[in-house]
Amino acid sequence: MSKQAIDFDKNTHVSVNEYDQSAQLALPGYEAMHTMAFACLKSRLPEVANLLVVGAGTGFEIAKYGKAKSNWQILGVDPSSKMLAIAQDRINQSELSQRVQLVQGYTQELPVAPLYDGATCILVMHFLPDDGSKLSLLQSIAQRLKSSAIFVLVDAFGQKGSDELDRMISILKAYWEETGFPTDKSTKLLENFNEGVFPIQEARVLELLQQAGFEDIMRFYTGLWVGGWVATKS
Ligand SMILES: C[S@@+](CC[C@H](N)C(=O)[O-])C[C@H]1O[C@@H](n2cnc3c(N)ncnc32)[C@H](O)[C@@H]1O
């Protein structure tokens, strides 16, 4: 079972109540990335579709998809009860509760039927080490998708300790000065990045996706240290 390396209920780099605001300041193009992820889904999914959102977090993406597509049914899964409580409020406020279900737990614990037309896993897999846990997460998603379903993956990527990632982190620090991301928070985020985030090089992302049963993989987004890939379940 691929548990989370950073428990968002206990030890997180930001309090769950501050997650949305911090994500906007810390992650380059956070909102635009979600719009691009939605565009990937919209370009491929029919008007009536069911979608699996892995690592639903505070429900930002679910609300976005649910408001834009009135006939999409969405299931969000996440181990964090605190993140899901915020997601549930957001879903209620957006009047989406008829079409959105939230489940506390892991993808591996979900039933293998029904199969979904699409899935997203945004800013989740980098919390898992590359010791079989990342692959297990991707396989658990693939097992719950129809053949030809669309999958959107977004994750921090790069080789820890490499010159390239070190240079990227210098750029990030400069970026955070521009967005006004507070120094105490950025320091904590980088500490957590060193201890509890396990980025891998893009070539390894592609390899894991293929091993899990995905094909036609294309990068659709780069925001400094974060990449987004769209793929098709074989
Ligand atoms: C950085 S947040 C991303 C939330 C949302 N997808 C977004 O784009 O803002 C990561 C979320 O993944 C959840 N998570 C951690 N490990 C997980 C796992 N193994 N499976 C599913 N979700 C996980 C955390 O509880 C947290 O809510």
CB atoms within 10 A of CB 163: 8
Quote the ligand 1 centre to 92 CA distance (angstroms): 20
What tens digit of pLDDT does each residue of 72-101 get?
999 999 999 999 999 999 999 999 999 999
Per the confidence metrics, is the pTM higher than 0.85?
Answer: yes
Quote the ligand 1 centre to 45 CA distance (angstroms): 23
Degrees to nearest 5, angle at CA 232 with 228 and 234: 145
Question: Candidates 53, 124, 197: which one to mutate for ligand 1, based on the most atoms within 8 Å of Cβ?
Answer: 124
Q: Environment class of residue 55 by beta-carbon count within 10 Å: exposed (0-12), middle (13-18) or buried (19+)?
A: buried
Please choose, from the candidates 18, 21, 16, the residue with its C-alpha nearest in 3D space to the C-alpha of residue 78: 16
Q: Is the pLDDT of residue 1 over 80?
A: no
What tens digit of pLDDT does each residue of 6-34 get?
678 875 556 788 889 999 999 999 999 99
Q: Name which residue sits closest to atom 16 of ligand 1, judged by CA.
A: 4
Whether ligand 1 lies within 6 angstroms of the CB of 60 is answered as: yes
DSSP 14-38: S-GGGHHHHHHHHSTTHHHHHHHHH
- DSSP symbol at 132: T
- DSSP symbol at 102: E
Percent of the residues in the chain that have a pLDDT greater than 70, as a whole number: 96
What tens digit of pLDDT does each residue of 38-66 get?
999 999 999 999 999 999 999 999 999 99
Question: Candidates 18, 51, 127: which one to mutate for ligand 1, based on the most atoms within 8 Å of Cβ?
Answer: 127
> Tell me, what's the pLDDT at 132?
98
What tens digit of pLDDT does each residue of 169-222 get?
999 999 999 999 999 999 999 999 999 999 999 999 999 999 999 999 999 999
HSE of 67 in the Cβ direction (CA atoms, 13 Å)? 13
Q: How confident is the model at residue 37 (pLDDT cuts 50, 70, 90)?
A: very high
Q: Which residue(s) pair with 143 in the sheet?
A: none
Quote the ligand 1 centre to 123 CA distance (angstroms): 6
> Tell me, what's the pLDDT at 199?
98
Whether ligand 1 lies within 6 angstroms of the CB of 198 is answered as: no
Identify residue 94 by its one-letter amino acid code.
S
Give the CATH class of 16-233.
Answer: alpha beta
What are the extents of the domains in the chain?
A: 16-233
- Give the CA distances from residue 103 to residues 34, 83, 84, 108, 115, in Å, rounded to whole numbers and listed in that order: 21, 11, 8, 12, 16
> Tell me, what's the pLDDT at 26?
92
Let me know: does 49 contact 75? Beta carbons within 8 Å.
no
